[in-house]
Amino acid sequence: MPKKAVTKKVIKKPKKVKKPQEVLELEEVKPQDVAVEVIEAESKDKKEKYFQAVGRRKESVAIVRLYTKKSGDMVEEEKALVTVNNKDYGQYFLDKNLQLVVESPLRKLKSLNRFKATVMTHGGGLAGQADAVKHGLSRALVLFDINFRKKLKKAGFLTRDSRIKERRKYGLKKARKSPQWQKR
């Protein structure tokens, strides 16, 4: 018995008609306003030179940009110019010990007020992030001047602390914890 050809009807939906966009009214621009915008744009185009490095610790990653300090930068006594995630490092790391960890590469080189650094960090906890910032800052300082390497290497700041969480194995609850076993 021959099969009959089956035809499908395709129903097309009507296309949506785009509404005409409203005509935007332009405000009058005064010549003095234009001059101010041009000056601001020129200052933004002048990019500061920086040295970028990545520091890591456990699950934390810190991207560090190291600038040389300008004369206009405000500095307090015995405090580094480091911003972490758009906050001062003193506000981001509230614990004094973590603040000392972040400053430690600059303190070792006795150049606490000589540099300015911006850091973007994520992952892990605060202690891991502080160590990641220390590692990244040390690497950036070596990029700035290769002579810093000897002191920083001797202090152990350039060594990446490779201790990370061990992976989970099949048949176990965690990396090494096994399920409860009943003798009888």
Assigned domain for 39 exists: no
Give SS3 for 61: strand
Distances (CA, A) of 68 to 79, 87, 118, 136, 158: 15, 19, 11, 16, 20
Assigned domain for 43 exists: no
Residues 6 or more apart whose CB falls under 8 angstroms from that of 159 comprise 153
Question: What pLDDT is recorded for position 113?
Answer: 87
Question: What pLDDT is recorded for position 70?
Answer: 75
Question: What pLDDT is recorded for position 149?
Answer: 95
Are 116 and 50 contacting, i.e. CB atoms less than 8 angstroms apart?
no
Assigned domain for 97 exists: yes
Assigned domain for 143 exists: yes
Span between the terminal Cα atoms of the chain, in Å: 69
Task: Kindly report the number of other CB atoms within 10 A of residue 132's CB atom.
Answer: 29
Mean pLDDT by 10 residues, the chain (184 residues): 61 58 49 46 64 95 91 72 94 95 94 92 96 96 94 95 94 96 90
Q: What is the CATH number of the domain that holds 89?
A: 3.30.230.10
Are 131 and 60 contacting, i.e. CB atoms less than 8 angstroms apart?
yes
For 65, the enclosing helix (H) or strand (E) is strand 60-68
Give SS3 for 38: helix
Whole-angstrom distance, CA of residue 76 vs CA of residue 113: 9
Whole-angstrom distance, CA of residue 160 vs CA of residue 4: 73
Assigned domain for 112 exists: yes
Assigned domain for 149 exists: yes
Structure tokens at 82: 């480091």
Residues 6 or more apart whose CB falls under 8 angstroms from that of 59 comprise 123, 124, 128, 164, 165
- Range(s) of the domain holding residue 119: 51-155
CA angle 79, 135, 102 (to 5 degrees): 20
**Total domain count for the chain?**
1
Are 111 and 148 contacting, i.e. CB atoms less than 8 angstroms apart?
no
Whole-angstrom distance, CA of residue 81 vs CA of residue 75: 7
Assigned domain for 5 exists: no
Q: What pTM value is reported for the model?
A: 0.71
